[in-house]
A = this chain, B = another copy of it.
Amino acid sequence: MDELSIEWVAEPSLDDPALVEGLPGVGHVGKLVAEHVIAEADSELVCRVHSEYFPPQVTVGDDSVAELAAAEIHAVETGGRDLLVVTGDHQAQDTVGQYRVTEAFLDAAAEFDATDVFSLGGVPTGELVEDHDVIGAVSSAALKDGLADAGVEFRSEEPAGGIVGSSGLLVGLGGKRGFDAACLMGETSGYLVDPKAAKAVLAVLGARLDFEMDEEALDDRAEEMEEVVSRLQDMEETPSPGDEDLRYIG
């Protein structure tokens, strides 16, 4: 295998698609949106990006078939703008790998003459969030008005710690390569998978790219998470006996 290779599966004809990235990250917000869009709309696997920079592992599917760690790009017809949606189970494993894998996503976008890039993620607030604002960062200030109209908030020098990983690099490297790139970050506690933050990001993205989508699956996930939280709160109140035995043998 080469250091990095794109395995093409289909070559759909897309009309001025926007690249949308949702890899694992804070609150899994980006990944939730990306997977939701792929599941709800008319989508088709376009390519897999394999790389020695992804963790050396396979995932096992429902048919027990093992799939090499990869990022996948689906073509999605939303009714509005066509999308190329990047998702997967992993970020690249080291600094150099993050740069190279992100360049591969941009290479794939360039294959389809895409010029707009949206990376999706969460921004951790450290406390439980009621209203999930969506914060934006852009490759060029000219992009702000259109996004603000769609509901994105722009806050000076936020997030303060910058944007780490592929979501950040898509804007940084994308801007240098001439893409119009924006990162849309849903506010989230940072402690839990957050389908509500994902809904907020999805709403903004749809407003910007002229599509609407059923949100029931995200609502269901949100309810599940609420149950998880309430169970965690119960556990906190009841000090658990046991769990010791295993440790001694370990």
Interface residues of A (CB under 8 A from B): 1, 3, 50, 52-69, 89, 92-100, 102-103, 126-128, 136-141, 144, 154-159, 162-166, 168-169, 171-173, 175-176, 183, 189, 191-192, 229, 232-233, 235-236, 245-250
Chain B nearest Cβ from A54, distance in angstroms: 8
Evaluate contact between B249 and A53: CB separation under 8 angstroms: no
Copy count, this protein chain: 4
Check B171–A53 contact: CB distance below 8 A.
Answer: no
Q: Is the CB of A246 within 8 A of B154?
A: no
| Bound complex: CA A120 to CA B183 (Å) | 35
Evaluate contact between A1 and B189: CB separation under 8 angstroms: no
In the complex, the answer to whether A95 meets B62 with C-beta atoms within 8 Å is: no
Inter-chain CA distance A248–B57, complex, in Å, is: 31
Give the contacting residue for A53; candidates B92, B96, B144, B183; CB below 8 A.
Answer: B96
Cα A90 to Cα B34 in complex, Å, equals 31
Asked whether B192 lies within 8 Å of A249 as measured between CB atoms, the reply is yes
Q: CA–CA, A183 to B68, complex, Å? A: 13
The CB with the most chain B CB atoms within 10 A, among A50, A59, A98, is that of A59
Say how far A10's CB is from chain B's closest CB, in angstroms: 18
Choose one: B55, B68, B157, B249; the contact of A60 (CB below 8 Å): B157
Residues of B within 8 A of A176 (CB): 1, 50, 68
A52 close to B191 (CB less than 8 A): no
Most chain-B CB neighbours within 10 Å: which of A50, A53, A67, A166? A67
Q: Which residue of B lies closest to A160 (CB)?
A: B60
A65 nearest CB across to chain B (Å): 6
A192 to B65, CA, bound (A): 28
A-B contact pairs, 21 of them (CB 8 A): A52-B95, A56-B102, A56-B168, A58-B168, A58-B169, A59-B162, A60-B137, A60-B158, A61-B156, A62-B156, A64-B136, A64-B137, A65-B138, A65-B140, A66-B168, A68-B173, A127-B246, A191-B250, A229-B249, A232-B249, A233-B249
**B99 in contact with A66 (CB, 8 Å):** no
